[in-house]
Amino acid sequence: MLRNPQKAAPWAQRGASVALVDVHDTDALALVFAHILQHPVQEENIPPTAWLAYYKANGFSDKAARSYANMTAIFINQRYDRPTNPVKGVTDLASYLRAELAGCTP
């Protein structure tokens, strides 16, 4: 179940098929995964102080956990150069995940 189902994206509230999703909207991302995997997906808010331990607990090596924790901080804090004219592919997130997760079972 989602923490804030009332915040569900309009397409999800209407029961429409999964469409483009803002990758910064964790509720919408959880809905995309739930739709594709056909079971409820719970978003989980991990505080920054727990990122390293969380990555390690999920199988990352010490070096990889540090790297991912740093990348997470950079992304969350938006401390990177954002392109002024990004080139975006034609595949939306939902289509990509559907293809990558085909055949996965919960």
- Count: domains in the chain: 1
The per-residue pLDDT for range 38-74, each reduced to its tens digit, is: 888 888 889 999 999 999 999 999 999 999 999 989 8
Domain span at residue 54 reads 5-84+92-100
- Return the pLDDT at 15: 42
* Domain-embedded: residue 72: yes
- Return the pLDDT at 17: 41
* Domain-embedded: residue 105: no
Q: In what helix (H) or strand (E) does residue 4 lie, and over which residues does it extend?
A: none
Cα–Cα dist 56/64, whole Å: 8
* Domain-embedded: residue 68: yes
- Return the pLDDT at 58: 93
Closest CA to 36 of 12, 53, 61: 12
Mean pLDDT of all residues in 72-94: 81
Long-range contacts formed by 101-104: CB under 8 A, 24+ apart: 101/36, 101/37, 104/37
